[in-house]
Amino acid sequence: MVSGYVEMRGREHDDASAARTTRMPAGFISNGRKEMTFARIRSGCGVMVAVTLVLAFCAPTATRAQKSAITFGSTNATSSNYALAVAMSKAIKKELPNSNVSMIETGASVDNVRRMTKGEIDFGLVMADTSIQALAGTGPFQGKAVEDLAVLYVHDIVTLQLVVRADSGVATLKELQGKKFSAGIRGSGAELLTRQMFQLLGIEPQWSPGSIQDAIEGTQNRQLAGYSKYGVGAGLDATLRELMVSTQMRYLSFNAEQQAAILAKIRGVAFAEIPANTIPGQAAVTTPIVFGTYSARVGTMDDATAFAIAKAINENRQFLIDVFPHLKDMNFKEQALKTETLGLKLHPGAKKYWLSAP
């Protein structure tokens, strides 16, 4: 069972670099600047005599060389995670008041990575399993590895929720064989993971690609058996809550054999329980759980900007908690640093912040 952000069942990628500890240099300035008058100073920049010496020229800071315009990609506007992205935008604007920060609607994980490679966005929502495939050049990134993709922060640890109409005649994953089913938002991490898992398990629904709104309407109209979508933590998201007003729904669960097959082949995924009665009257179910990150490319985002964005999210996380109350139990620093043990990269600028964060 998911309890806060403590336990996940699954295999973690061993990364020797995660065992190394990096410490902040003694002269690092996290924000602002220091001035000294009529002083002789010895620093990493050399010996200098000046009326006013700004140390920012000697060491990188969180406020130096930040991008003046920042655009980040989120997800479909009908998703609960879109509202969370709006809160992130507020947090970042508060920390970087001199930067023009824009958040745009996208197709989520896979779409966001592709947009980063085209220079359309500076960073975006990317689920951990999608990041691993992008780094390795596998799956939808076959032959097109994005080797400098790196995490800025973890925004949630979420369950992939597969739901069907209670009257669909589907009670198990295998019973989706040949049934019309939406794998999630086109271009999203949910769609990628769902399709890859079903292919691995030898189950072939009639896929119905489209937006989450298409999936909801298709389910309501009984054209679809159901859909797959990342939830809010291990609970109901706004989309499913709204659907359940008119349509009785049920979760589908992964059995032990299915879990083992997926864990053996798909990195970045673990399993956890959605508690009983999350959908009233339904027993607990076991489903995939994945780290949700916002990531950038090291080659296109400087360390100062990455540092400032990570700092903005952590120090203004109340904006995020106001939207997703369960995030009050998440240790943002711990989860950001943990991504390196899962086979992901952490942006050097963001890592510098997270190592220094309280």
Give dist(CA 358, CA 350) in Å, integer: 14
Helices 189-201 and 256-265: crossing angle in degrees, nearest 10, is: 110
Residue 66: the pLDDT is 65
The mean predicted confidence, pLDDT, of the chain is 84
pLDDT band at 131 (very low <50, low <70, confident <90, very high): very high
Share above pLDDT 90 across residues of the chain, in percent, rounded to a whole number: 73
Which of 119-128, 230-239, 259-268, 343-352 is the least confident region? Answer: 230-239
Does residue 2 carry a pLDDT above 60? no
Section 192-214 average pLDDT? 95
Residue-wise pLDDT tens digits, 19-78: 333 332 333 223 333 332 222 323 333 433 333 333 333 334 444 456 789 999 999 898
Mean pLDDT throughout 159-178? Answer: 97
Measured distance CA(107)–CA(186) in Å, rounded: 6
pLDDT of the residue at 348: 98
Phi and psi for 307 in degrees, rounded to 5?
-60, -50
**Helix 109-118 / helix 128-136 crossing angle, nearest 10 deg:** 40
Q: What percent of the chain has pLDDT over 70?
A: 81
Predicted local confidence at residue 79, as pLDDT: 85
Taken in order of first residue, the domains within the chain and their CATH numbers are: 62-156+292-356 (3.40.190.10), 159-289 (3.40.190.10)
List of long-range contacts for 90-95, beta carbons under 8 Å, 24+ apart: 90/316, 90/319, 91/312, 91/313, 91/316, 91/317, 91/319, 91/320, 92/309, 92/312, 92/313, 94/312, 94/316, 95/308, 95/309, 95/311, 95/312, 95/315, 95/316
pTM: 0.77
Q: 291-310: per-residue pLDDT in tens?
A: 999 999 999 999 999 999 99
Backbone angles phi, psi at 160, to 5 degrees: -85, 115
What tokens does 290 get?
A: 């994945």
Helix (H) or strand (E) holding 153: strand 149-165
Enter the tokens of residue 330: 């998440």
Amino acid at 2: V
Looking at the DSSP assignment, which residues form a beta bridge with residue 63?
A: none
* Nearest-angstrom CA–CA distance, 145 and 254: 30
